[in-house]
Structure 1
């Protein structure tokens, strides 16, 4: 009899422990399977935007500067630059499309000379085709782009915490981070555009005279614009996921309710 009571008490304690453990698991914050799948899907979209943003900031094909073809010369000069680096290229005119009045595109094979901008190290302006950059504007574009990447990384960390720890309140923080990152990318692109305009107008007075130039924005800047749009879209999707399941349900009359 004593042993039967002992085993019964042990069984009751085990069942009580299992019940307490299940109650604690039910009280833990977490995501439902459908909600977790939606968060992961939007995170993939944000990861695509992050990849394009890193590709844009890390490459130097934001704008191409092209000189006009020189009569009687076998070569012509072109350049392409980004936030950090400039590449001057000497191309063979035989490789340039005949219908094109200017040298380029810069992707053509030729002699390339790539250098990082000196205003990041020594504070000196760069000189391109007898024109001088305005380092303050170029530095502003680069700093804004780096801030965009930092805020974007913080948003990714917030969403990862939501998926791993169930901290749903961080979903809204992540949405704000992704939206701010997209806006900062657009700001960086706009500041860079102003830097290109300032470069074309900053003609040095010393001889020889500066050659005529044309410019065209290239694929790196396109990646930056696409990344900004995708990050803003991801931010909007994350904000929608933070809303209640039926945000307008309380404002709508149920079917069959009498009108008041």
Structure 2
């Protein structure tokens, strides 16, 4: 059993790393207006659970991938969603369109982090003698963490859709970036790890029906 737990722990570490990368970065989705002419500026944005970064980019040539305004890796101005107003020259772009969704997704991600911490503590303490029973709650905690992160992913998808559909924003094109991929990968790894720990912690089932009878104490005759 320790070998199975160690292998599962490695998968858990990878899943936790992917989740932490998704939570602390701002590249869940990239938004951009439709580029209709060259030698002009466009306003692109990328955002994560906590803040949105808006960038004004001068377009010299068309994007071969057809993703509109770019490249998005240039420096720009970032604003946390709790202070959700960004200024573009004389116009004010209101962020009521998706702010509540992002705050909800961030709150759900915090629950996922809590479940991950609890699961990690249970796995660490389970390596002690006679503490295999801690693997069962550890599996449940990691499964709950995976469920929370996928719920957060879905909330972010709704946030992107609302921003794109809103008349208050200028963006009409979008694509999901590497932070979004990390969140989806962490969901898969944490769910599989949680199920694996639950299966490992299950009591041994007899291979043959008579094993239980053979292990039973013999009856004594009075």
Whether contact under 8 Å (1:61, 1:81) holds in the other structure is yes
- Structure 2: 5+ residue stretches without partners: 212-222
Q: 1:95 to 1:251 in 2, by over 3 A?
A: farther
Quick one: which of 102, 115, 119 aligns to 1:151? 115
Moved over 3 A (4+): 125-131, 250-253
1:40, CA displacement in angstroms?
1.2
- Partner of residue 181, structure 2: 222
> Secondary structure in 2 aligned to 1:249?
coil
Q: Distance in 2 between matches of 1:99 and 1:54?
A: 29
- Residue 202 (str. 1) matches residue 166 (str. 2): yes
Matches within 5 A, 1:1-260: 35-71=1-37, 73-94=39-60, 97-98=63-64, 100=66, 102-107=68-73, 109=74, 111-119=75-83, 125-127=84-86, 130=93, 132=95, 133-204=97-168, 211-245=170-204, 247=205, 249-251=207-209
Q: Distance in 2 between matches of 1:72 and 1:38?
A: 57
Structure with the greater alpha carbon radius of gyration: 1
Q: Cα deviation per residue 1:97-156 (whole Å; 9 max; x = unaligned)?
A: 35636112423x3x511222235xxxxx44588353343322111000111011011101
Q: 1:99 to 1:147 in 2, by over 3 A?
A: closer
Aligned pair count? 206
1:225, CA displacement in angstroms?
0.5
Instruction: Give the TM-score normalised by structure 1.
Output: 0.72
Whether contact under 8 Å (1:52, 1:227) holds in the other structure is yes
Whether contact under 8 Å (1:96, 1:105) holds in the other structure is no
Q: Cα deviation per residue 1:73-110 (whole Å; 9 max; x = unaligned)?
A: 33322110011011111223236535636112423x3x
1:49, CA displacement in angstroms?
0.3
Instruction: Give the TM-score normalised by structure 2.
Output: 0.83
- Structure 1: 5+ residue stretches without partners: 1-34, 120-124, 205-209, 254-260
Q: 1:169 to 1:98 in 2, by over 3 A?
A: closer
